[in-house]
Structure 1
């Protein structure tokens, strides 16, 4: 009996010492931390607000992918998982939820940068979509 218990304890110790799988985490960035980021061709800036919110003003270079539009998961299935994704919305809530979906889908480099107005007030460059 002692041998069985000792074997079980030994197995537990060795199973706990196995390297843990590298699980990506969604990182939070303040507006000032985001301004220091060097965006490149491997970076994607996503505005997950509605098209109407996006048209009223958005960060320079942002792509609009409406989190609540109904096909966010379908759209993200076509994205490159090796790129770095920066997400924002009106307050940071939708972008946080969208970032979690990316993480669950296996994306590795995900940043929630918060709300549009906070980013704008911090001096992050913005643009307004001109209606045609």
Structure 2
């Protein structure tokens, strides 16, 4: 096999793992955030959200996260937990929000991981 192909495959794998890596959000922290009124944001597409989402989550598509956060009146210091299908889009949304001055953003990764954190 061509060494360049191997490097591309391995590099792609590591980039994917970096984007969808473990969340640092702990179960106790997630429960506290939700109990204190923190928002859960599903950053998947409206169609994905419609097909099933975490109870109480609002839908703001990841590529519209800044305008959506403003429209939903999410303050820059209020706690927000993000999730998507794989953790990649929520990771991107977290970085975008942080770059815009949001300070209390958490990436749960996937809906399943969020469910586990809150159960």
What TM-score does the superposition give when structure 1 sets the normalisation length? Answer: 0.60
Deviation track 1:95-124 (CA, whole Å, cap 9, x = no partner) reads 01101111111111110011113334x374
Distance between the aligned counterparts of 1:90 and 1:52, measured in 2? Answer: 12
1:65-84 alignment runs, 5 A limit: 65-68=60-63, 71-78=64-71, 79-84=74-79
Partner of 1:64: 59
Query: 1:63 Cα shift?
Result: 0.3
For the Cα contact (< 8 Å) 2:45–2:61, is it kept in 1?
yes
Closer, same or farther: CA 106–48 of 1 in aligned 2, 3 Å? same
| Higher strand proportion | 1
For the pair shown, the structure with the greater C-alpha radius of gyration is: 1
Deviation track 1:75-101 (CA, whole Å, cap 9, x = no partner) reads 234531121010000111100110111
Distance between the aligned counterparts of 2:85 and 2:79, measured in 1? Answer: 21
Secondary structure in 2 matching 1:106: coil
What TM-score does the superposition give when structure 2 sets the normalisation length? Answer: 0.65
Q: Alpha carbon RMSD of aligned pairs, Å? A: 2.4
